[in-house]
Structure 1
């Protein structure tokens, strides 16, 4: 997987491009000019086919990132059994299926054997990181760098862009949700260290505007990193485009009522290399998210 982006240090600007894979070992990167100035065009290999194959192989062998324990409790007994996200990894047919309680995500626990304990007595999940069992060669490959910036950097001068930068004139809360699913990259860019979406602008930036927006509202947050027993490992970021395709297929029937926020461009342009983006990037994501929900900003 190859990504391209360009960066203008003087203007605090950056944007991501799109990459076309020609399936013969060559790629074409396309970058849209969104501001006036100078920029350095960069490229990086995020992961290789060999690393993706390696990742799938260790998953097929049953590795799931974390060891999951299911705790069952009654007034008379407590018992712990193993938990799994994939039923094929279960070593017993005596199981409790908690998929419905887990918001539709497959999740299974071994059925408790203690007297009087049943599946309905499931009360808690605990997790711990699970070390992979690898050969010396596999361990070397796993610990090697997953991504690498290409050494060549192309410096360019960007001529006239109307108004010096591309900009949106419509607030995000007026945006048709269906447009968020149809948008093509780039969906935004950074300028003067501020993220600027191309289709709309967020009107939420201050603490007061957040308080005003969330007053008398119920907010529910679901996500893999906020859920203690979702498996995570360090080198699986290349699944982003895969999940994107799955989401777009699953939400086809209701995409007129659901907003899809694509932050891939943001993390590439802002050179986010950690497993999780920085607090500043997360704040920018939240500002964008609430821009679709909240109508006004208080001064």
Structure 2
């Protein structure tokens, strides 16, 4: 395996910008089967505790985010142990799955209480599922108050999920749960990453005089060589502000690595294998809400007429925000349409008034920021 280093001449800025945008896009796709969501891997209720979360009172926990028990998504190794989906009716169903309280409060709580519930997943035939891996999300909301908060969801690895919601305001609220990803689709996503270079391939076009050639590109050179016929590659990381970027070295002896002129995206050379069931899962809308919901009635404590949970007393400027990376509970909630932090107090001010006479540039994501940076350096139009 050989590596060709390109000279670092600042040429062809448009290709540089396209490389940035496409590399970020492909990195996300490539990382999807390594970890679909970084803050989700697997919360395992093991026999080490000797207890079940369904039987013991809930206590807020701060855990190490590097611990695999902190996360809740199925790993690649676990997912690939399952056979490809053959029948979509065997996947978790939003119509048959059950949502119920798992404590003894019967839907009535005091403000500040933690509401505990359980989801039992069933397939479309009404058969209970006994394996983990499905990703669920849950919220508690009160539409009249424009109030809502996320709930903590734990996969128990046996076809059930534990829900813990906080009673943050008084009145009647509804708990809803949604099926974000079924395990069978996650298995397919992981497997596609082992079959093809990428679900969308970056192609580099090299050109010099009358000679030209297109080669596949990828942020991971090992993956690039493994799933293509190339044995040598061009290291074009220097064009990508240090972000890894490699293209297959042109086989035409008249073309060098520095002859990269442009990049573009196209469908994979080898179409990934998907069963009919997986194809249907692939195009089916995700984040489907379970038919079953729970009604919750929250009351004030004693003679206290407080209708919403008390605000924190410490300002965010004094709070150790790194603790939030290791906390599984929600960091805030909406009330009267306004976001309220749970861990620290923030000072709100009139943003429009403060920037009324200033020039503002709005960037929505990393790719946009990089694009803006290069537009400042290379003022040409984009199509």
TM-score (norm 2): 0.49
In 2: Cα distance, 1:179 partner to 1:223 partner: 24
User: Which one of 150, 154, 158 corresponds to residue 24 of structure 1?
Assistant: 158
Are the equivalent residues in 1 in contact too, given 2:192–2:199 (CA < 8 A)? no
Shift of 1:17: 0.8
Equivalent in the alignment of 2:299: 159
Question: Is the counterpart of residue 199 in structure 1 residue 312 in structure 2?
Answer: no
User: Which one of 218, 232, 236 corresponds to residue 84 of structure 1?
Assistant: 218
User: Which one of 128, 131, 145 corresponds to residue 11 of structure 1?
Assistant: 145
Shift of 1:8: 0.4
The alignment covers a number of residue pairs equal to 226
Q: How does 1:1-299 map to 2 (within 5 A)?
A: 1-62=135-196, 64-72=198-206, 79-85=213-219, 86-87=223-224, 88-99=226-237, 101-102=239-240, 105-114=243-252, 117-128=255-266, 134-160=274-300, 162=306, 164-200=308-344, 201=346, 203=348, 206-209=351-354, 223=366
- Compare 83-92 and 47-56 and name the one that shifted more: 83-92
User: In terms of Rg, which structure is larger?
Assistant: 2
In 2: Cα distance, 1:75 partner to 1:172 partner: 59
In 2: Cα distance, 1:226 partner to 1:132 partner: 33
Shift of 1:204: 6.0
**1:184-216 alpha-carbon deviations (Å, 9 max, x no partner):** 32111111112222223264662354579998x
Shift of 1:44: 1.7
Quickly say closer, same or farther: Cα 1:135–1:4, change in 2 above 3 A: closer
Are the equivalent residues in 1 in contact too, given 2:188–2:274 (CA < 8 A)? no
Q: What 5-or-longer segments of structure 2 have no aligned partner?
A: 1-134, 372-383
**1:231-279 alpha-carbon deviations (Å, 9 max, x no partner):** xxxxxxxxxxxxxxxxxxxxxxxxxxxxxxxxxxxxxxxxxxxxxxxxx
Quickly say closer, same or farther: Cα 1:124–1:34, change in 2 above 3 A: farther
In 2: Cα distance, 1:93 partner to 1:62 partner: 17
Are the equivalent residues in 1 in contact too, given 2:195–2:272 (CA < 8 A)? no
**1:98-134 alpha-carbon deviations (Å, 9 max, x no partner):** 3465466543211134555432343532224557564
Quickly say closer, same or farther: Cα 1:28–1:134, change in 2 above 3 A: closer
**1:153-174 alpha-carbon deviations (Å, 9 max, x no partner):** 1111222274623434444344
Q: What 5-or-longer segments of structure 1 have no aligned partner?
A: 229-299
Are the equivalent residues in 1 in contact too, given 2:197–2:228 (CA < 8 A)? no
**1:14-71 alpha-carbon deviations (Å, 9 max, x no partner):** 0011122222222210001112222101112212222211111112111523121113
Are the equivalent residues in 1 in contact too, given 2:192–2:273 (CA < 8 A)? no
- SS of the equivalent of 2:191 reads helix
TM-score (norm 1): 0.61
- Compare 203-212 and 183-192 and name the one that shifted more: 203-212
In 2: Cα distance, 1:226 partner to 1:138 partner: 35
Equivalent in the alignment of 2:69: none
**Structure 1 vs Structure 2 CA RMSD:** 3.6
Quickly say closer, same or farther: Cα 1:125–1:222, change in 2 above 3 A: farther
- Compare 6-15 and 120-129 and name the one that shifted more: 120-129
Quickly say closer, same or farther: Cα 1:120–1:186, change in 2 above 3 A: same
In 2: Cα distance, 1:89 partner to 1:4 partner: 39
